[in-house]
Amino acid sequence: MSTFNSDLHLPVTCIDASEKFLTELKGVKDPEMKRKIIGREFIVVFDEFAHMLEQKIGKRPEYLVQGTLYPDVIESCPPPGSGRTHSHTIKSHHNVGGLPKDMKLKLIEPLKLLFKDEVRKLGSILNVPESFLKRHPFPGPGLAVRVIGDVTAGNALEVLRQVDEIFIQAIKDAGLYDEIWQAFAVFLPVQTVGVQGDQRTHSHVVALRAITSEDGMTANWYDFERPFLVDVVKKICNNVRGVNRVVLDVTSKPPATVEWE
Domain range summary for the chain, segments of one domain joined by +: 141-260
Q: How far is CA 102 from CA 40, 42, 95, 106, 142, in A?
A: 10, 13, 14, 11, 24
- pLDDT at res. 168: 98
Contacts of 156 (CB under 8 A, 6+ apart): 147, 150, 187, 204
Q: Out of 3.30.300.10, 3.40.50.2300, 3.40.50.1860, 3.30.300.20, select the CATH number for domain 141-260.
A: 3.30.300.10
How far is the C-alpha of 210 from the C-alpha of 251, rounded, in Å? 10
- pLDDT at res. 88: 54
Residue 43 host element (H or E): helix 31-57
Amino acid at 68: T
- pLDDT at res. 64: 87
Nearest-CA neighbor of 156 among 57, 244, 242, 49?
Answer: 242
Interior/surface letters 159-168, b for 16+ CB within 10 angstroms, e for the rest: bbbbbbebbb
How far is the C-alpha of 156 from the C-alpha of 146, rounded, in Å? 10
- pLDDT at res. 3: 85
- pLDDT at res. 92: 57
φ/ψ region of 223 (left if φ > 0, alpha if ψ in -120 to 50, else beta) reads beta
- pLDDT at res. 107: 87
Nearest-CA neighbor of 37 among 138, 151, 159?
Answer: 151
Low-confidence residues of the chain: pLDDT under 50: 85-87
Question: The whole model's pTM is what?
Answer: 0.83
Amino acid at 259: E
